[in-house]
Amino acid sequence: MGALLSLQQLGKDYPDGDDTVSALAGITLDIAEGEFVALLGPSGCGKSTLMNILGCLDRPSHGRYLVNGRDVATLDGDALATLRRDSFGFVFQRYNLLATASAEDNVALPAIYAGVGRRQRRQKARALLTRLGLGARLTHKPGQLSGGQQQRVSIARALVNDAPVILADEPTGALDSHSGEQVLALLQQLHREGRTIVLITHDLDIARHAGRIVRLRDGRIESDSGAVLRPTLAATVAATPAPLRPAGAVPWLETLHMALGSLRAKLFRTALTLLGVIIGVAAVVTMLAIGDGSKADVLQRISAMGTNLLLVRPGAAGIRPTGEIATLTADDAHAMQGLPNIDGVVPMRSGSATLRVGNRDYQTQQVQGVWPSYGRVKDWTVGRGAFFGDAEERAQAAVIVLGQTVADSLFPGGQDPVGRYVMVSSIPFEVVGVMSSKGANTFGQDQDDVAFVPLSTAQSRLFGGQYVNSITVKIADIGVSGATETMLQQLLRARHGSEDFQLRNTASLVEMITSTQNTLTLLLGSVAAVSLLVGGIGVMNIMLVSVTERTREIGLRMATGARMQAILLQFNVEAVLVCGLGGVIGIVLGLALVWGLRLGGVSVAFSWLPPLLAFGCAFATGCVFGYLPARKAAQLDPVLALAAE
Ligand code: ADP
Ligand code: MG
């Protein structure tokens, strides 16, 4: 059985401009299990450098360092972390406690990385603190403890994983002589219990507490008082060389707990970061709901106009008609009726006219001459009375059906217009019916401001001429509307000998408007997405600041055995937590906004896709923007991290 710690011709160089500075040169030293060694030397002689190498926080530039006969040069980062965790307990001159954690939690920290359960960790930390005389200070934060008490907390932390070796770098450097004596007595006691202690100091009086004094000067060993072995104790410890427990991953729940803890420690900052994400997600949810809502609204109004209708207008496409075009006739409409897949045809001849009842005048937008099939083709029912029939059409009868607006204007106060007479162009028309109310169309026009008369009556008695202004065709099966359209086109071309008409269907109108609306939704969505991105950048910014701020904490976690993976995971989880939480609150806020808008009469369409998408984005943002800072944290050199201010 060789020495527990064995340094062979060990050297450490630091770059100094183009040159290198040799902090350690040719150190050969064996430390046996159970020894209490003091490394004594003036400031700058390389004591801390040596301790960092002994504790596997740093690697030598030359020579070999064997721990329990194993060359550390052969170990990778994770194996070194495991070795640190299981073999060494560090005590630093400046304690290096986590300011936001209680004494108990500080002591328990290394045990997290050793995979010890929460309850057990607590118990152990309490027992150790009680033993070191801090039983009444378990929940105190480091700021509430004296220097000597803080150093005892850090000694308890060094002991929590039962490390066989305690490395103490100037542990009394910042303490008054009384507290210093207490700490030294504690180290001696630990030595008596069988632990190996390496004490670093520049003070001979302190070094005298150790059994063996090794003097260093300018990176070399000046003198060595020689090993003082106490065979009985050393043997008992050496008989059970601690096997390296595999470096297990920190459990998820533990990581989550730690992440929550550090988020809570900076509550205000966390809240501000959250706000960025919340606004982003809420914006996505609300904007998309508004966009979809307005689309659905427009589509619904258009389909109320009838998507199965074809409109035939006179005049060639692209030519702006001047005056009335007289190419389309009622005979064309008759011919169309004979075609297959046609559910109904209604020609229309319209003009504006003044309607009069007694001395009450009403100028309607349109008096339309139509066939009795009008109501069926347009899906428009009569509210009161009846529409005129084929007999009236054949007889050019002076009968009229009023739209609701016209009826209300001419017969105010709830009078029944049916059976009454209305003067149109000095001809008395009998009111036979009143249409049901239809309201405004997509373009805001009042569809009830209209009156219907038989087509034959309109042509011969009101407006003159044998032509019509349009023919509306109702298609039976919308699935083959294309073929029907072609047939209509061929029929009319054959009848007219030229393409002096236009066919328009509402389906193409729907298509056009849908695409416009989609553009709008896309625009709203991208504005929202940008705000989500800004939120994400905020998260990254905060995480980067937090990494810089907590550099020492990261160094400490690594010194106590945290693997790179654990650090990476912790910072990632913090970012993802912020984004995930922000995502959830953002969705709730967004839904509340959508709900409020709906109550306020704005048409919104809610579907689960945008919120899920927004949440997914926020979550992904957390992963992506959390990764860079997390990686930065995980790649920190433990020695430099610990030395950071
Ligand atoms: P001690 O702890 O005995 O006071 P250190 O081990 O801290 O001494 O330093 C030994 C020598 O190595 C000093 O000259 C110091 O300037 C140098 N040194 C220590 N750390 C670094 C570093 N990271 N980069 C460059 N030089 C360093
Ligand atoms: Mg030092």
Specify the number of domains making up the chain: 3
Check residue 47 and give its pLDDT: 93
Q: Do both 340 and 446 map to the same domain? A: yes
| Pocket-testing residue among 16, 22, 40, 45, ligand 1, by greatest number of atoms within 8 A of Cβ | 45
Nearest listed ligand to the Cα of residue 94: 2
Percentage of residues of the chain with pLDDT beyond 70: 92
> What's the pLDDT score for residue 248?
57
3-state secondary structure 89-136: EEECCCCCCCCCCCHHHHHHHHHHHCCCCHHHHHHHHHHHHHHCCCHH
Q: In terms of pLDDT, which residue wins out, 90 or 623?
A: 90
- Say whether both 204 and 270 belong to one domain: no
Domain that holds residue 635: 262-300+512-643
- Range among 58-67, 505-514, 520-529 with highest mean pLDDT value: 58-67
Tokens of 497: 């000998």
Same domain, 371 and 520: no
Query: Is residue 120 domain-shared with residue 144, that is, in the same domain?
Result: yes
For residues 558 and 545, give the distance between their C-alpha atoms in angstroms, rounded to a whole number: 19
Q: 147 and 212 share a domain? A: yes
Ligand 1 centroid, distance to 303 Cα (angstroms)? 81
CA of 639 to the centre of ligand 2 (A): 12
Share of residues in the chain with pLDDT > 90 (%): 40
Q: Which ligand is nearest to the CA of 20?
A: 1
Tens digits of residue pLDDT in 130-183: 988 899 999 999 999 999 899 999 999 999 988 899 999 999 988 888 888 988
Query: Residue 262 contacts by C-beta under 8 Å, 6 or more apart in sequence?
Result: 100, 546, 550, 574
Q: Give pLDDT, residue 610.
A: 80
Of the bound ligands, which one is closest to the alpha carbon of residue 642?
1
Q: Are 387 and 375 in contact (CB under 8 A)?
A: yes
Domain termination site, one of 471, 499, 527: 499
Whether 61 and 187 map to the same domain: the answer is yes
Q: Model confidence at 322, in pLDDT bands (50, 70, 90)?
A: low
Compare 441 and 327 and report the one with higher pLDDT: 327
For residue 198, what is the domain's CATH number? Answer: 3.40.50.300
CA-closest residue to ligand 1 atom 11: 23
Ligand (nearest to CA of 40):
1
Residues 82 and 111 in one domain: yes
pLDDT of 485 strictly over 80: yes
Residue 317 maps to a domain: no
pLDDT, tens only, 189-198: 999 999 999 9
What digits encode the pLDDT tens for the residues 200-234?
999 999 999 998 999 999 999 999 887 665 544 44
Protein residues within 5 Å, CB atom, of ion ligand 2: 48
pLDDT for res 327: 83
Query: Could you tell which of 16, 20, 48, 53 is best to mutate to test the pocket of ligand 1, judged by most ligand atoms within 8 Å of the CB?
Result: 48
What pLDDT sits at residue 502?
85
Instruction: State the distance from the centre of ligand 2 to the C-alpha of 46, rounded, in angstroms.
Output: 7
Ligand 1 site, CB within 6 A: 14, 21, 23, 41, 43-49
Residues 6+ apart with CB under 8 A from 5: 29, 30, 31, 54, 65, 66, 67, 165, 196, 198
Instruction: Give the pLDDT band (50/70/90) at residue 238.
Output: very low
pLDDT for the residue 560 = 85
**Ligand 2: distance of its center to the CA of 54 in Å?**
14
Judged against a pLDDT cut of 80, whether residue 246 lies above it is answered with no
Nearest CA to ligand 1 atom 16: 44
Same domain membership, residue 270 and residue 242: no
